[in-house]
């Protein structure tokens, strides 16, 4: 990469700047800036010369410098639990599409359900001066975000409310959805219904359990302790919980599973059995139609879209106080939830 006298090319690893382009095109720095940004006030001939210099040098505007000057990055951050979870892929994609419509890039990160990692990620995004932030909270205390929000970072919480601060929030109706799902089982004659959910510090897990209790209470049924299991959603724990509820002299005749990961494992457990245990799951899962799994479905893309639209509305300066939006769920009957008690 030696430099020749004729056309001084930048060295490997060094990028041409507007100044280089200006020198090569024989114009002033600001003229290059005008061309690059499509601003008016440049004659076609000058513009052509500048464009040629840009091509020849392989110039690409340095957005860090631009951001430093302009104050806005045209990017937003999304912190979620795990991008590999089939719930978050479509959610993230929906956010990305809205961001794209607003000319913004999306940076997303997985908290792995770890509050420290959530905070680390959020603050890294703030250091990069994202214009806005969508957070699926892992932690329960978000006061660390107060200075950021004060400083103008629009923030929307999704799936679970923020902890100890006021902020826009978009939720699915976990309580109502679970209540409806359990009521569905009750309507099909079940009385002993088991609930297998996520760890009790997770907001949605609590809400869904509340929905379960509400439906059971509506039916005048005393819930036995052994019918409820909360904890990690790994297959081992969930399978054990299901087996336990299905054993003994008075086993449950139906199960309600608290999220997609639980449902997958429960379906596997039930598939190994001779009897026909009823099942309703929270969250839809791929191919549930073929497996005949009745679910309470929430639409991850709609959740993401709604959150992103809120965010951009706020960025555009709606001065409204923080609002909470709850999106409805939908019961999808496919067979497993309509089985009668054994």
Contacts within 8 Å (CB) and 24+ apart, 58-64? 58/16, 59/15, 59/16, 59/17, 59/18, 59/20, 59/21, 60/15, 61/18, 61/36, 62/15, 62/17
Among 3, 48, 55, 70, which residue sits at the site for DNA (rule: CB under 7 A)? 70
27 binds DNA (CB under 7 A): yes
Among 1, 6, 13, 37, which residue sits at the site for DNA (rule: CB under 7 A)? 37
Least CB distance from residue 229 to a copy of itself, whole Å? 22
Residue-wise burial string across 143-165, b where 16 or more C-beta atoms lie within 10 A, e elsewhere = eebeebbeeebbbbbbbbbbbeb
Among 48, 55, 58, 65, which residue sits at the site for DNA (rule: CB under 7 A)? 65
Which tokens is 251 given? Answer: 């086993």
Least CB distance from residue 276 to a copy of itself, whole Å? 15
Cα-Cα-Cα-Cα dihedral of 148, 153, 154, 156, to 10°? Answer: -50
7 binds DNA (CB under 7 A): no
**3-state class (DSSP) for residue 90:** helix
Contacts of 95 (CB under 8 A, 6+ apart): 76, 78, 106, 108, 134, 304, 305, 307, 308
Among 29, 68, 164, 323, which residue sits at the site for a copy of itself (rule: CB under 8 A)? 68
Which part of the chain contacts DNA (CB under 7 A), choosing from 41-49, 102-110, 180-188, 239-247?
41-49
**3-state class (DSSP) for residue 95:** helix
322 binds a copy of itself (CB under 8 A): no
Least CB distance from residue 234 to DNA, whole Å? 41
325 binds a copy of itself (CB under 8 A): no
Contacts of 317 (CB under 8 A, 6+ apart): none
Select from a copy of itself, DNA, none the partner in contact with residue 251, using the beta carbon and a kind-dependent cut-off of 5 to 8 Å.
Answer: none
Nearer to a copy of itself, 85 or 309 (CB): 85
229 binds a copy of itself (CB under 8 A): no
Among 6, 13, 38, 41, which residue sits at the site for DNA (rule: CB under 7 A)? 41
Number of residues engaging a copy of itself in binding (CB under 8 A): 63
Residue 148's H or E segment, with its range, is: helix 146-150
Among 42, 47, 85, 332, which residue sits at the site for a copy of itself (rule: CB under 8 A)? 85
Which tokens is 211 given? Answer: 């929905």
Q: Tell me which residues touch DNA (CB under 7 A).
A: 15, 17-19, 26-31, 33-34, 36-37, 40-43, 45-47, 59, 61-62, 65-66, 68-70
């Amino acid at each position: 990469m030696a430099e020749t006298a004729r056309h001084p090319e930048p060295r490997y690893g060094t990028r041409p700047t507007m100044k280089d382009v200006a020198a090569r095109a024989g114009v002033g720095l600001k003229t290059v800036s005008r061309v690059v940004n499509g601003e008016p006030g440049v004659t076609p001939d000058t513009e052509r010369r500048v464009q040629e210099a840009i091509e020849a040098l392989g110039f690409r505007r340095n957005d860090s410098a631009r951001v430093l000057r302009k104050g806005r990055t045209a990017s937003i951050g999304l912190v979620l639990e795990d991008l590999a979870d089939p719930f978050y892929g479509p959610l993230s994609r929906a956010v990305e599409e809205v961001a794209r419509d607003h000319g913004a890039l999306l940076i997303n990160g997985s908290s792995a359900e770890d509050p420290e990692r959530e905070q680390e990620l959020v603050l890294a995004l703030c250091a990069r001066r994202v214009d806005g932030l969508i957070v699926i909270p892992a932690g329960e205390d978000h006061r660390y975000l107060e200075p950021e929000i004060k400083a103008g970072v629009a923030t929307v919480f999704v799936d679970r409310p923020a902890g100890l601060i006021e902020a826009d929030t978009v939720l699915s109706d976990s309580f109502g959805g679970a209540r409806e799902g359990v009521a569905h089982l009750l309507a099909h004659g079940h009385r002993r219904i088991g609930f297998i959910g996520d760890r009790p510090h997770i907001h949605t897990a609590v809400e869904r359990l509340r929905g379960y209790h509400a439906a059971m209470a509506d039916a005048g049924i005393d819930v036995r302790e052994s019918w409820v299991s909360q904890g990690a959603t790994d297959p081992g724990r969930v399978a054990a919980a299901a087996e336990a509820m299905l054993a003994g002299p008075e086993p449950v005749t139906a199960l309600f599973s608290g999220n997609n990961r639980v449902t997958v494992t429960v379906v596997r457990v039930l598939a190994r059995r001779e009897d026909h245990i009823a099942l309703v799951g929270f969250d839809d899962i791929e191919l549930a139609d073929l497996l005949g799994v009745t679910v309470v479905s929430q639409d991850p893309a709609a959740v993401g879209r709604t959150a992103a639209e809120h965010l951009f509305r706020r960025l555009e300066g709606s001065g409204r106080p923080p609002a909470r939006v709850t999106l409805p769920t939908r019961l999808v009957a496919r067979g497993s939830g309509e089985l009668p008690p054994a």
